[in-house]
Amino acid sequence: MSDSSDQSPSKVRGFTWTVGDHALLSDSDAWGEALVEAGRADPRIVTVTADLGETTRLQAFKRAFAERAINVGIAEQNLVAVAAGLAATGLIPVVCTYATFAVLRAAEFVRTDLGYGQRNVKLIGTLAGVAYGQGGPSHHAAEDLALLRAIPGLVILAPSDGYEMAAALRAAVAHEGPVYLRWGRGTERADPARRDRPFVIGPIEERHPGADVTVLAYGPTVQEAERAARRALSAGVSTRVLAVPTLAPLDRATILRAARETRRLITVEDHSIIGGLGSAVAETVARAGIAVRIAALGHRERFLPMGVPEDLMAIGGFDEDAIYEEILRICRVDPPAPDDDWEDR
C-alpha cells in the first residue's frame, strides 16, 4: 500500500471533501478542537450524532470522552429526541449532522422538543446550503433557516469561517437554551487575524465600511461580499459589508441604520431567498417604513443542480461576481470599461 493512499483526504477526513480542499481543512478543525476544550472544562457536555461523527468533527471529542459521545444510528428524529432527553437531565448535548437532515428530516422534533421544550441543546447543521454541492438537492440545505426562524426562542448562528465557528460554539455552549449553528463545508478561508475574536450572540459585524450600498451576508457569502466590495470600490462605489452571524435574535437596529444611511440593501446567502436573511431584512425595513431598494441574492425558487460549491454559487447567482454586479446595478453604475489594452503591456 502506498503512502499516498493512506494520506488521501477521503480516508483521513471522510468522504465529503475533495483533494483540493485538503489544505484548508486545518482551519475548519478549529471547532472540533474547541469542542474538546469545552468538554474538558464542562463535564455536562456530551455529543450526539446520527452516524456522521467522522465527517462532522466529533471524532476528537469521542477519542477524549468516549462515554460522553453518543451515536444513535441513522435516525434523525431520534437524534433530536434523545438530545432533548439528555438535556432534561442537565447535560448539554452538542448534536451534529448534515443541516438538511438535522432540520428538515427532524423538523417537528426540533420545533417541539427543542423549541417549545426550550431544551439546552446545541444543534449543529453542517454542509448547509450547497456546501455538499456534489450531493445534489437531496444534500443541499436551502430551507433550514426558513423553518427555524419561525421557532420562538431558538438562537440561530451562522459563522463565516473556522475560527468564528469555534468561537460561536463556545458562545452557544455558554448560552442557556436551544441554539442552531449553521455550518458549511469547513473550507472557508479563515483569516488568522480573526482567530481569537470572541463571539457575541446578537450583534451584526461591519466587515467593510461603505456609504452607497450595504451588503448583508452570513456564512460563506461574507467573504464573497468582502471581495466584491473591494472590487466595487475601484468602480467608484462605497460598499458596506455587514456580516450577520446571528440570524435570531436579529440585530434589527444595525439593519435599520444601514437602511437609513445607504438606502440600498443587498442580501446574499447560500439559502433560499424565501425565509432566510433576504426575507428577514425585507420584513425589518418594511415594518419600519423605510423606503429602500432591496435585492436578494441566494437560491431563487429553484433546485440547484449537482456540482462543486464554487460553481453552484456562481450558477445560483450568489458568488463574488454576482454580488459585484448587483452592487453596480442597484447603484446604477456602469461597469468600468473592460481593460482591453493588455496586449500593449
Partner 1 sequence: MRRYTVDAMVAALSSSEHRRLLAVSLRARERVVRAVFRSGSGHVGAALSQCDALVALYERHLRLDPARLDDPARDRFVLSKGHGGLGLAAVLVERGILTQGQLDSFGESASPIGMHMDHRKVAGIEAATGSLGHGLGIAVGMALGARVQRWSSRVYCLLSDGECYEGSTWEAALCASASKLRSLCAIVDRNRLTMDGWTEREVPLEPLADKWKSFGWRVLACDGHDFAALDECFARAKDDGPAVIIAETVKGKGVSFMENKPEWHYGAIDSAKLDEALASLRAQHDAETRALDARERGAS
CA-to-CA separations, 53 to 16, 31, 58, 280, 283, in angstroms, rounded: 13, 13, 5, 32, 37
| For partner 1, the closer CB: 87 or 154 | 87
SS3 333: coil
Would you say 120 or 187 has its CB closer to partner 1? 120
Report d(CA 143, CA 100) in Å as an integer.
8
What are the respective helix, strand and coil percentages of the chain, to the nearest 5?
A: 45, 20, 40
Positions in the binding site for partner 1 (CB under 8 A): 46, 67-68, 70, 72-73, 75, 77-78, 80-91, 93, 108-109, 112-113, 116-118
Distance of CA 256 to the CA centre of its chain: 22
User: What gap in Å lies between CA 100 and CA 115, rounded to an integer?
Assistant: 18
Task: Report the residue number, 70 or 268, with the smaller CB distance to partner 1.
Answer: 70
Q: Which is nearer to partner 1, 72 or 237 (CB)?
A: 72
Output the smallest distance, CB 176 to partner 1, in A: 13
Q: For residues 84 and 179, which CB has a smaller minimum distance to partner 1 in the complex?
A: 84
Minimum CB distance to partner 1, residue 279 (Å): 27
Nearest-approach distance from CB 141 to partner 1, in angstroms = 21
Please list the residues that pair with 45 across neighbouring strands.
92
Complete DSSP assignment for 284-327: HHHHHT---EEEEEEE-SS---S--HHHHHHHHT-SHHHHHHHH
Q: What is d(CA 90, CA 208) in angstroms, rounded to the nearest whole number?
A: 41
Backbone angles phi, psi at 177, to 5 degrees: 135, 170
Provide, rounded to whole angstroms, the least separation between the CB of residue 142 and partner 1.
25
The nearer residue to partner 1, 59 or 118, going by C-beta atoms, is: 118
Distance of closest approach, residue 117 Cβ to partner 1, in angstroms: 5
Least separation in angstroms between residue 86's CB and partner 1 is 4
